[in-house]
Chain A
Amino acid sequence: MISAVYIINLKGEIVISRLYRDDVKKSTVDLFLRDVIARKETGSLPPIHLINGSSFMYIRHSNLYLVAATRCNVNPLLVFEYLNQTVRIYSAFFTSRKPFEEKHLRKNMTLVYELMDECMDNGYPQITAIDVLNTYINLAGGTKALESDPYERGQLTSQITGAIDWRREGIRHRKNEVYIDVYENVNLLMSSTGQILRNEVDGKVIMRTYLTGMPECKFGLNDKLIMEKEDQEKQSSSGEITNLQDQNRKNVELDDCSFHRCVRLGKFDVDRTITFIPPDGEFELMRYRISENINLPFKIVPAVQEEGKSRVSITLRCSARFSYKMFADNVIIKVPVPPNTARCKNRVPFGRVKYEPEKKAVVWRIKRFAGNTEALFSAEVELTPSVRERVWSRPPVTVEFLVNMYTASGVHVRFLRVYDKSGYQTNRWVRYITRAGHYQIRI
């Protein structure tokens, strides 16, 4: 299991260290610091290093490295998952979910140590649910001492020992509200001839719940499998043919999904319903992947001509393929140019465009790209003659964007039902955001 956890800054100094077992030598750690962290090439090195029989696994978070050392043959994903959880926990405790930095660690040093103690014992990860940790961390400004009233204490016991350790009993909210955010990242890799090489959507559903009691929730997306089943049931029960509206409705096929641990996986396996008792506050309910019938928000047709050795002309035809009622925000189109570019004459109908030599690209920034419009980008690139003739590798055009209230996959939330003994009313809010993941077009 994990022998030690270190938090190291970019200079290679240990900010925090916690040794759970004493089998990793100090000299080995120094070797790791010297050979890996201090070299500043971690981007091109694998995240696992073996030095003298000790494995070092690290992740980077803002300006810090979180490193775990072990001498066992441990499941590497367990370690990385634990380190990522650590980041999540520290952010929640120190900076209210914003990325934390070295100064925050120093500021809350004792709390860091206490958290390190609670989350891991003898190298085995223990409790990592923020809610639960919160109830028995007592160095955080002495909010909750161990000697609290017996009622509290009883509650704590039931929470850390019960089957549902992500929610405590007796939560009360004046307004019962649920916010559902559906985020989608569109990944695209298109060849220069317009052929789609890879296209998929990575989606996640983030939920913020402010609900009283221990409510049971049922959540439904327009999942193709469910919808077909329901239609069949409807037909068989009422004998009617499904009406027109049903036929027009677009259902999506969820390729693959994973859930927060509050969701009953067995139930989903049987009949694909998503049922759960939610944690209080924000959590990631599910992730999904969709690879069929994706609406591409942007279509880009490139044309590149290398005219002799000193000129390249690039034109792109970009069209926004969503409804004219919507906008894409912060669109950035990065068009790569050869490294020996001298000058660049660009023409665009709107937005700002600039040749940025450090990125070896012409970058076109558009604050707002209206739906259902088309724009033409053209650039005349002049090259400086170089002594050694080199073939330009032609990296792909990359696109970034954000579209509100739009899902590239067509997913939408059909319902969220909340059942609680007291039978209160719940307000539900849904928001959809589509972003570009790896959106690349080869040229």
Chain B
Amino acid sequence: MTTSVATAMQNKVNALQGEAHFFEDSLSPAKVKEYLARTKESDKLKGMKWLLAMVSKGKDMSELFSDVVKNVVVKSVEVKKMVYIFLVHYADASPTCRELALLSINSFQKDLAASNQLIRALALRVMTSIRVPDIIQIQLLAVRKCASDNSPYVRKCAATAIPKIYALDKEQGPELHRIIEKLLKDGSTMVLGSAVAAFAEVCPKMYALIHPVFRKLCHLLADIDEWGQIILLNVLAFYVRNHFTDPNRMKAKLSSDRNSVPISTPTVQTNQVKRTKRRVLKKAFYSDEEDESVSEDEEIPPTVTPAVPFKSSTFNGIGQSEGGIMASEQDIGSANLDEDHRLVLRVSLPLLKSRNCGVVLAVCAFHFNCGTITDAVEQQLAKALVRILKSKRELQFSVLGAIRSMSAQRPKMFEPYLKDFFVKGTDPLFVSSIKLDILCNIATSSKWDMATPPSWSVVLSEFQSYTRHGNKKFASRSIRSATQIAAVHADALAPTIHALATIMLSSSDNYVIEASIEGLCHLLRRREQCDGREVVIIAQKLANSLNGKKSGFESERAKACAVYLIGEFFEEVGVDVVPDLVRMLAKKFHSF
């Protein structure tokens, strides 16, 4: 009586806690074995949950593998899913497990023939996740079968399974290429994303697979799911770099190019045209270019379907639709662009407004590497990058990294957003130092800038406030960056030297003093006439430090710079002072 009440209570408590108690419960493996062997589903469930909790804690539970595998035939989907998770986790843990895993194959094959598409997909997903080389032929067979399933969901799963098999056995390459080729021709956007991912992983250099579907991929880019878009953009970037001439360097070459014979091996795909048409119907509300794509599809004679996308000057289907569709059309600019190149640039640009930061970065990288350099596009890219910069802290780091490398090549691009890179008080060092680099990139390049005030002066005055920053490492870095900027702009030389001298005198931090004297050393050399005021101060400080007083000249580099300057400007310092200083210095050379 009391025990039943107690268990009832226990059950109630468990219900309230959900599954958390499985983490603490001290069930013995033998007990779990017993649970798994029972026929009641709730008992099996209990056993499985405990097992998963242990797995999740990092305990090795492979000894129970055989007891779990037996349950693979259970009807209950809940138990089944858990068994699958366990199976994938331990299938290749030990030779016995591998052998036992083979036992489960039958049940998978049964599920692969199930009428429910979700069950089919699940079975395929789990079976291909079992990393046991013995079953690779069965896996391959299943993938091939599922690649022509009538449900796109299952086909998608087949596409994702391809890299799994490839990772297990590279020998299967040619067979897998054939499946990828087939899946790339699929009409469903759902499948395409995964098919492209498989392509990128298994055979990223086999552009022959992309040639026939290039235009389709471009047109469907906006409809593929966001994760697929990122991968596809990457693939397209490689494709474009390999197959089109650099639009920014081809102006001269172009005229001769036009006359050359297109290298094309027209592949005939009658059914592809049908597919694109179907897409237009389906899209109804969401196609961006309804009118355009309808007319376009009709224009395409079935025999000339998008073949090799090299020179398509003979082909005017797309030329018509180009009319006045998008504002971005003019932005892309450059009349010398290949039609297909233009197409891919055009369709990718609207994705800059995507909510997924990954897509935005992918588009920016794509246009940066493959696009034409025009102000309009550059502004759009910069704007989008600055926008995603505002989101989560973790993203900031990566986005700033991207901006840093872009700004090194094209600093003009980010000049309007100068103030967005100003360092905030809360920025950690790893963020603020990248911002510093970006600001420095922009400021050092704007040499002939007519803007008022010129960006270098804005940046320099901003840097001045950074030199008082609490983090001295950062402060000294900003001094070094300021030196770089002043070295480029002659107008900035005098005020910067003055500022550095003030910092050197007022600061008490060794890092900062070292950075400022290095800066002075660098800048004073560039100056034509010098009254030597700063050098006199430096000489005094050096003398103090040699006499053992605290002066901030403790570091070797600071001393070296000071000595260099004194030597260079010895007349300004005073002919009678310098030899004395040098003598004192020489006395310190104990080691010699």
Contact = CB atoms under 8 A, between A and B. Distances in A.
A197 B419 contact: yes
Interface string B304-338: 00000000000000000000011110000000000
B589 interface: no
A286 to B, nearest CB: 9
A77 B23 contact: no
Contact of B358 (A81, A260, A261, A267): A81
Interface stretch (A42-50, A314-322, A377-385, A400-408): A42-50
B419 A161 contact: no
Interface string A128-164: 1000000010110010011100000100110011111
A80 B20 contact: no
Contact of A138 (B77, B131, B160, B327): B77
B9 to A, nearest CB: 19
A268 interface: yes
Interface residues of B, number: 102
A13 B507 CA distance: 44
A75 B230 contact: yes
B390 interface: yes
A284 interface: yes
Question: Which one of A43, A139, A277 has the highest number of Cβ atoms from chain B below 10 Å of its Cβ?
Answer: A139
B163 interface: yes
B64 interface: no
B253 interface: no
B326 A270 contact: yes
B194 interface: yes
B429 A44 contact: yes
Contact of B428 (A43, A59, A138, A165): A43
B201 A110 contact: no
A389 B550 CA distance: 13
Interface string B148-162: 000111000100110
B164 A122 contact: yes
Contacts of A153: 116
Contacts of A48: 397-398
Nearest to A148: B116
* Interface band, chain A: 35 or more
B134 interface: no
Given A81-B357, A138-B78, A145-B77, A47 B52 contact: no
B528 to A, nearest CB: 34
B394 A103 contact: no
Interface in B364-399: 383-384, 386-388, 390, 392-395, 397-399
Contacts of B420: 198
A75 B157 CA distance: 22
Interface string A1-38: 10000000000001111010110000000000000000
Given A124-B197, A258-B355, A284-B355, A84 B392 contact: yes
A139 B351 contact: no
A139 B286 CA distance: 34
A247 B118 CA distance: 59
B49 interface: yes
Given A45-B430, A78-B227, A124-B160, A107 B470 contact: no
A261 B153 contact: no
A69 interface: no
B188 interface: yes
Given A110-B19, A197-B422, A261 B354 contact: yes
Contacts of A117: 81, 85, 125
B358 A75 contact: yes
A121 to B, nearest CB: 5
Contacts of A396: 425
Contact of B153 (A44, A161, A197, A388): A161
Interface in B198-248: 201, 222-223, 225-227, 230-231, 234
B533 interface: no
Given A48-B398, A59-B392, A256-B384, A189 B422 contact: yes
Contacts of A127: 225
B117 to A, nearest CB: 7
A114 B126 CA distance: 12
The secondary structure that dominates the A interface is: mixed
A77 B388 contact: yes
B98 to A, nearest CB: 14
A59 B397 CA distance: 12
Contacts of A75: 230, 234, 358, 361-362
Contact of B58 (A14, A45, A122, A142): A14
Contacts of A14: 56-58
B478 interface: no
B18 A107 contact: yes
A288 to B, nearest CB: 9
A259 interface: yes
A202 interface: yes
B56 A15 contact: yes
A76 interface: yes
A391 interface: yes
Contact of B508 (A16, A265, A388): A388
Given A1-B201, A16-B56, A107 B20 contact: yes
B392 A391 contact: no
A164 B222 CA distance: 12
B125 A202 contact: no
A349 interface: no
Contacts of A124: 160, 194, 197, 227, 231
B81 A163 contact: no
Contacts of A368: none
A68 B152 CA distance: 28
A442 interface: yes
A54 interface: no
A194 interface: no
A259 B361 CA distance: 15
A16 B77 CA distance: 22
A139 B78 contact: yes
B11 to A, nearest CB: 16
A216 interface: yes
Contact of B357 (A77, A110, A122): A77
A220 interface: no
A150 to B, nearest CB: 10
A236 B287 CA distance: 31
Contacts of A103: 20
A78 B358 contact: yes
Contacts of B525: none
Contacts of B362: 75, 78
A249 interface: no
B151 A157 contact: yes
Contacts of A76: 398
B22 interface: yes
Interface in A317-368: none
A257 B360 CA distance: 12
A395 interface: yes
A47 B508 contact: no
Contact of B398 (A77, A114, A197): A77
A394 interface: yes
Question: Which one of A75, A114, A268 has the highest number of Cβ atoms from chain B below 10 Å of its Cβ?
Answer: A75
Contacts of B49: 109-110
Given A47-B393, A121-B157, 18 more contacts: A15-B56, A19-B89, A47-B397, A57-B394, A77-B388, A77-B398, A80-B392, A81-B356, A103-B20, A107-B17, A113-B82, A124-B197, A197-B462, A257-B353, A258-B353, A260-B355, A268-B353, A442-B465
9 contacts: A47-B393, A48-B398, A80-B358, A81-B357, A81-B358, A117-B125, A138-B78, A161-B190, A264-B286
For the complex of A and B, list the 6 residue pairs with the smallest distance between their C-beta atoms, beginning with the closest.
A266-B288, A107-B18, A78-B358, A77-B358, A106-B20, A76-B398
Interface of A: 1, 14-17, 19, 21-22, 43-48, 57-59, 75-82, 84, 103, 106-110, 113-114, 117, 121-122, 124-128, 136, 138-139, 142, 145-147, 153, 156-157, 160-165, 189, 197-198, 202, 216, 255-261, 264-270, 277, 284, 287, 289, 388-391, 393-396, 438, 440, 442
